[in-house]
Structure 1
Amino acid sequence: MTNLFSIFDPSTNMMSLPLNWMSSLLCITMLPMSFWVLKNRQMMLWSKPFTLLNKEFNMLLNFKINKGTTLIFISLFSMIMINNILGLFPYIFTSTSHMIMTLSMALPLWLSFMMFGWMKNTESMFSHLVPTGTPIVLMPFMVCIETISNIIRPGTLAVRLAANMIAGHLILTLLGNTTMNMSINILPTMIAIQMMLLMLEMAVAIIQGYVFAVLSTLYASEVN
């Protein structure tokens, strides 16, 4: 490791194939279990949070006719959460800590929402640029502010996810490097702190996937 940030460099290659990114495909191994007639306990455990997410996303989207619209957001949440949790295991690459991965998820969603909104609901999209109750003098400034906020949405989604993953991994790496040089008396305390941070990172991994999916759902509800 040449520097602290080299742990985020996907440089493991074999025959010109980047093997680090293969960890993102591990979640595909869980798909065949969902096609069994009698579901096992693992799939029953997965179905409970997915049912709750389906109800919440339906409330945010307010879609009563188009059933199955929430599947894309539930799939997005599950993929981000699985990749975040896998990155906490030793020697497994965290793909969601790179802007390549996060921006590849945020930019197509935002672009499709914007294209659909401006093509189908043009008047509604124009009305979103000026909030209700805005004075006439401030209307040009509000249009500029709302336009900029709409443009930077995919960037904020991507940076939020990548920055949270990088921050947690850097803290764990720093503590892991300093623990090796400490005395035996302080070692149990440092290990306990690392275990607490690891539990916190597990919660952050789930929360970041939830935040990404909820914000994408809110952006979709604005254009309809």
Structure 2
Amino acid sequence: MMANLFSIFEPSSSIFNFSLNWISTLLGLMFIPYLYWASPSRWSLCWSEIIFTLHKEFKALLTPYSLGSTLFFVGLFSMILYNNFLGLLPYVFTSSSHMAMTLALSLPLWVTLMLSGWINHTQHMFAHLVPQGTPSILMPFMVLIETISNIIRPGTLAVRLAANMIAGHLLLTLLGNTGPSMSSSIILSMLIFSQILLLTLESAVAIIQSYVFAVLSTLYTGEIN
């Protein structure tokens, strides 16, 4: 039963042993040419306002030497948000619920930041291992704690995003599978209402998790410079 339940998150459709489910991540590229010739709509103006707000917020978190990175983090937020919302559609593969994608986003970013920091700002990286005002007797422990904290950062970013997306989808699947076995119309109506509430909650989680991933990545970048 549990194997069948989690099988909804596994790639299953394929042609010549090539998984087609991951193509859902690239479907957003079809909407890019549309933005160049279509007249601005309310949705596009609203999205532009969101991007401008995120740009100002990320600009405040970054140092003056890395302000150009705001475009990268806004794009990262947009891609994760798109994949999270795409997974809420029926029969659409949720790529952001897999560690293969979330870790592929967080690990290269973390490795790049670490290499850049230790090569260009070595003294600052050593100083960052010991918070200001730490007693001398606690310095070795603080270095160990900060080192472990830096090492697990890509894992926490990846697990946080994947676990939150999996949890909501599993709950929606469990409640949806109990619908055909119900005979009472009142209980079935309550189930449908709860599904709508959960879908609304999942929409909020999709926005929050993409925002958290982008903000934490921005904070990690700001600590390097």
Per the shorter chain, which TM-score range?
over 0.9
| In 1, Cα distance between equivalents of 2:8 and 2:120 | 45
Q: Name stretches of at least 5 consecutive residues in structure 2 with no aligned partner.
A: none
Deviations 1:190-219 (A, max 9, x none): 100110000000000010000000000000
4+ runs deviating over 4 angstroms? none
Report how many residues are paired.
223
The Cα of 1:102 is off from its aligned counterpart by 0.2
Corresponding letter in the other structure for 1:154: P
| In 2, Cα distance between equivalents of 1:19 and 1:38 | 33
In the TM superposition, what are the counterparts of 1:60-71 in structure 2 within 5 Å?
60-63=61-64, 68-71=68-71
In the TM superposition, what are the counterparts of 1:75-224 in structure 2 within 5 Å?
75-182=75-182, 183-224=184-225
CA contact (8 A) 1:50 1:74 kept: yes
CA contact (8 A) 1:33 1:43 kept: no
- Cα 1:117–1:164 shift into 2, 3 Å: same
Deviations 1:17-39 (A, max 9, x none): 21100100111122223434953
Deviations 1:94-146 (A, max 9, x none): 00000000000000100100001001111111111000111100100100000
Q: Which residue of 2 aligns with 1:47?
A: 48
Range moving further from structure 2, 25-34 or 3-12? 25-34
Corresponding letter in the other structure for 1:142: M
Give the secondary-structure state (helix, strand or coil) at the position aligned to 1:11.
coil
The Cα of 1:44 is off from its aligned counterpart by 1.8
CA contact (8 A) 2:179 2:188 kept: yes
Superposition CA RMSD, Å: 1.5
Q: Which residue of 2 aligns with 1:59?
A: 60
* TM-score, normalising length: structure 2: 0.95
- What is the percentage of aligned positions where both structures have the same residue? 61
* TM-score, normalising length: structure 1: 0.95
Give the secondary-structure state (helix, strand or coil) at the position aligned to 2:130.
coil
